[in-house]
Amino acid sequence: APMRFITLVRKELASIWADKQALAIVFILPLAAVMALGFTGQGSGEMVDNLVAGRAANMGVVDLDTSVGYPDADLSDEFIAILAMQPSVTLTKYNTIFAANESLYYEKIIGFIIIGDGFEFNVSAHLPAFINFYADALYILAQPLMAKKVNDAIKDFKLAFNFTLDEINYQTDD
């Protein structure tokens, strides 16, 4: 059995060596594929930034937060204002998740953010607060675009209110 296998391998190698096109397919195409994948994997965060830079982000926001905890400011409203000031962001406020989901369905927005109840209390007590966002799965850049805008808004918000811990995180669904 081993001799049959060796004979078969020799026969296949002889036919590949005789056919230059097959030789190219066997050796050059895998090398080209590995190189292409290597180039796309380098600096992928930077590539995403380049892809989403300057793109318009028509987003919705649903503020369900009724908690209190920070004096002299409604932190969910402040966060929404900072998010609205991000470059190329157009923000639409919705009263219900259903209304935001309907706008997403009709492609009026690329996604929406939900600020849950307890946001202000958690942030002011230095506890983790979560922002959920839903992105259009058909628009491939919706999720990274929204993530970039939300991350930038979180950084600006933390600077504005002198929060230094990881009080705010986000979760996403397509």
pLDDT surpassing 70 at residue 7: yes
| Residue range 16-41: mean pLDDT, rounded | 72
Which tens digit of pLDDT belongs to each residue from 114-171?
999 999 998 888 888 888 989 998 888 888 889 889 989 988 998 888 877 666 767 6
Mean pLDDT, the chain, whole residue set? 84
Higher pLDDT, 45 or 106: 106
Tokens of 124: 């002011």
Contacts 24+ apart (CB under 8 A), 89-96: 89/57, 89/59, 89/149, 90/56, 90/57, 90/58, 90/59, 91/59, 91/60, 91/61, 92/58, 92/59, 92/60, 92/61, 93/60, 93/61, 93/62, 93/63, 94/60, 94/61, 94/62, 95/62, 96/62
Does the pLDDT at position 44 exceed 60?
Answer: no
Strands across the sheet with 111-115, in order? 89-94, 57-63, 111-115, 129-135, 168-173
Nearest CA to 106 among 70, 60, 141? 60
Query: pTM of the prediction?
Result: 0.68
- CB-based contact 153:100 (threshold 8 Å): no
- The answer to whether the CB of 166 falls within 8 A of the CB of 127 is no
Give CA angle at 54 (49, 56), nearest 5°.
110
Q: What is the number of other CB atoms lying within 10 angstroms of the CB of residue 97? A: 15
